[in-house]
Structure 1
Amino acid sequence: MARGLVADGHEVWTSSRRDPGVPGARHLAWDLTAGPLADPPSVDAVVHAGAAVSDWCALDVARATNVGGTLAVRDTFPSARFVHVSSGSVYDPFRPSVRAREHEAPVDRYLDAYGTTKAEAERALARDAAHHPDRGAVVVLRPHAVYGPGDTTLLPRVEAAVRRGRLVLPGGGRVLQSLTHVDTLLAAVRAAVALPDETVRAPGGGGGPTPGWLVANVADAEPVVLRDALVDALSRRGTDVRVVAVPVRPAWVLAGAVETVARRVRRPEPPRLTRYALSHLAMERTYDLTVLRDVLGVDPAPTSFAGAGTW
């Protein structure tokens, strides 16, 4: 995203514990868990994409980064447009998301610390927007299953699950999924940064009761069948697989048992099978894109794995 915004001609600061080395951008070293910056640069907009992204993270660790860190960024740049990259994981993990609309999340229950704290971060920002209307407007983006150049999560995790040319999927992966190419997410970020303030602050204009607050699902143009998408992506990366279907309910019970044992022995890495993974692989996860199209003005491209071999 930083590279894309630099290419657009913006003066860009990146901020993280490690310098990502984005040409044309200046870097600001910052551990979000340490709290607000004492002497921040003056900026017009903030794109907050930093998070503890793991379905195996301890709740206190995830909360410190995903909630405390988010509020630290908000407090550091109170007057700036605040573009918060949230997640489709804030929707109910226990039931399918079928063309889910923004008002259907957050919910009261989650399977892991990631979903829990991403939802808490959204709620905290919503309270901040309601209590401090003089601050910069907030635009929350909810991408699902981001893939493309630079992907370190989705496809690498799928590739790691391949054994002897077989990819085991609950229910055979015959569910619809909304995926999000990184270019689609970048288009949403660009639109969120440039959206006129009066649009976000119009009563009800942000898709919710709070002026200065807009939430938008972000995904490619249309859902795809998960099985077909993964086979295509892996093939383009040089791995041909045969999908092996397993029943969903027994897999869910087994995942719960495996998680319990893994936590008791304090396993640092997640098991290959978790209920969080199953909640995304075994159920439909599709999202209504009306706000993305009609308010942000983004016309997303279809899902495509062209070029996946070089990602």
Structure 2
Amino acid sequence: MRVVVTGASGFVGGTVARGLVADGHEVWTASRRDATVDGARHLAWDLTTGPLVDPPPVDAVVHAGAAVSDWCALDVARATNVAGTLAVRDTFPGARFVHVSSGSVYDPFRPSVRAREREAPVARYLDAYGTTKAEAERALARDVARHPERGAVVVLRPHAVYGPGDTTLLPRVEAAVRRGRLVLPGGGRVLQSLTHVDTLLAAVRAALVLPDDAARATAPAVDHHEQVATRGLLVANVADAEPVVLRDALVDALRRRGTDVRVVAVPVRPAWALAGAVETVARLLRRPGPPRLTRYALSHLATERTYDLTVLRDVLGVDPSPTSFAGAHAW
């Protein structure tokens, strides 16, 4: 199979590209920076510039390119996550389109408890990332409705991706450790669905070979924002086999990385109010990076985030492994 992987200079895209090369596929990587994936050819592509003029002929696209910061300006995030997604779709209209979305499209204001795919997108979000990842899903749904002749779309929603090469989850947790203490709202005693990058890779592999009729003949996905139903794109939550207690998982991961920590619990409601105040000050001062405490982070650290995996198991045929930080010392 001939496959383009966008965002291949990043953690998820790079892992997917290397996995597909290892499977024997003909792979093109696409990103602004050289992805340096052995065995793949590279396309230098800034998604915000629009469709490629002379794209290679491919059978499928894995779209992992995104602006992932939870402190990104809305217009910047839209340029990459929405317009960029449509640019990729327009560049390869006949290809199977595997879109790497996010668990952040679920409601940040209430717990996600074994959430099913039809529970998102929702009407409002806490940051530009969740907003624009939801907008990208809606844009793809509209594209499928308007252009049924185009390649089928499979949307994957992983949550908290970790594993070898992780540049986001574990580094942020490690940066939050102070003098052997890790402060967690509510003590981190909430259930979370985490996603090993190998679990996500398995979902991508399955999505690439899923028969067209299985990808298109799905039950309507209800868009709670636009109050419409769309057919023709498959949406699947992606996560490890069972949820874990966040506190236990983070302590285990840090210990395997050589850091023993003591978890310090702080009340959730005061932390939420403080995060809102800190965000306001940071915006007034026009600070480029995110503050240490944000409501987006709290919405994931202090609230259950677990997802129903029926579609992953029964439609994509992926049997995910349990959450494991084995080998984390080398990540």
2:275, 2:159 → 1: CA distance? 22
1:125, 1:301 → 2: CA distance? 30
Structure 2 counterpart SS, 1:68: helix
Q: Is 1:200–1:211's contact at 8 Å kept on the other side of the alignment?
A: no
Q: Is 2:218–2:234's contact at 8 Å kept on the other side of the alignment?
A: no
Task: Tell me if 1:237 matches 2:257.
Answer: yes
After superposition, give the CA deviation of every residue in 1:73-105 in whole Å (9 maximum; x if it has no partner).
Answer: 000000000000000000000000000000000
Match of 1:63 in 2: 78
1:125, 1:211 → 2: CA distance? 11
Match of 1:80 in 2: 95
Match of 1:288 in 2: 308
1:201, 1:223 → 2: CA distance? 29
How far is the alpha carbon of 1:265 from its aligned partner?
Answer: 0.2
Task: Tell me if 1:309 matches 2:329.
Answer: yes
1:119, 1:151 → 2: CA distance? 23
2:65, 2:218 → 1: CA distance? 29
Letter in 1 for 2:264: V
1:258, 1:200 → 2: CA distance? 44
Match of 2:116 in 1: 101
1:259, 1:90 → 2: CA distance? 21
How far is the alpha carbon of 1:279 from its aligned partner?
Answer: 0.1
After superposition, give the CA deviation of every residue in 1:204-240 in whole Å (9 maximum; x if it has no partner).
Answer: 3x76754431000000000000000000000000110
Say how many residue pairs are matched. Answer: 310
After superposition, give the CA deviation of every residue in 1:62-83 in whole Å (9 maximum; x if it has no partner).
Answer: 0000001000000000000000
- Within a 5 Å distance, the mapping from 1:12-31 to structure 2 comes to 12-31=27-46
Percent identity over the alignment? 88
Task: Tell me if 1:120 matches 2:140.
Answer: no
How far is the alpha carbon of 1:20 from its aligned partner?
Answer: 1.3
Task: Tell me if 1:183 matches 2:192.
Answer: no
Letter in 2 for 1:215: V
Q: Is 1:176–1:225's contact at 8 Å kept on the other side of the alignment?
A: yes
Match of 1:277 in 2: 297
Match of 2:247 in 1: 227
Match of 2:225 in 1: none
1:215, 1:153 → 2: CA distance? 24
After superposition, give the CA deviation of every residue in 1:37-83 in whole Å (9 maximum; x if it has no partner).
Answer: 01000000000000000110000000000001000000000000000
How far is the alpha carbon of 1:202 from its aligned partner?
Answer: 1.9
Match of 1:154 in 2: 169
Letter in 2 for 1:129: V
How far is the alpha carbon of 1:203 from its aligned partner?
Answer: 5.0
After superposition, give the CA deviation of every residue in 1:90-123 in whole Å (9 maximum; x if it has no partner).
Answer: 0000000000000000000100000000000000
Q: Is 2:61–2:95's contact at 8 Å kept on the other side of the alignment?
A: yes
2:113, 2:289 → 1: CA distance? 31
Structure 2 counterpart SS, 1:82: strand
2:31, 2:93 → 1: CA distance? 19
How far is the alpha carbon of 1:201 from its aligned partner?
Answer: 2.0
Please, which runs of 5 or more residues in structure 2 have no aligned partner?
1-15, 223-228
After superposition, give the CA deviation of every residue in 1:283-304 in whole Å (9 maximum; x if it has no partner).
Answer: 0000000000000000000000
Q: Is 2:237–2:312's contact at 8 Å kept on the other side of the alignment?
A: yes
1:125, 1:260 → 2: CA distance? 33
Letter in 2 for 1:277: A
1:210, 1:4 → 2: CA distance? 32
Letter in 2 for 1:269: G
Structure 2 counterpart SS, 1:12: strand
1:305, 1:207 → 2: CA distance? 34
2:218, 2:18 → 1: CA distance? 34
Q: Is 1:203–1:210's contact at 8 Å kept on the other side of the alignment?
A: no
How far is the alpha carbon of 1:4 from its aligned partner?
Answer: 0.4
Match of 2:10 in 1: none
Structure 2 counterpart SS, 1:273: coil
After superposition, give the CA deviation of every residue in 1:129-166 in whole Å (9 maximum; x if it has no partner).
Answer: 01100000000000000000111000000000000000
Residue in structure 2 matching 1:254, options 274, 290, 301: 274
2:166, 2:295 → 1: CA distance? 22
Letter in 1 for 2:270: P
2:114, 2:130 → 1: CA distance? 19
Q: Is 1:136–1:212's contact at 8 Å kept on the other side of the alignment?
A: no
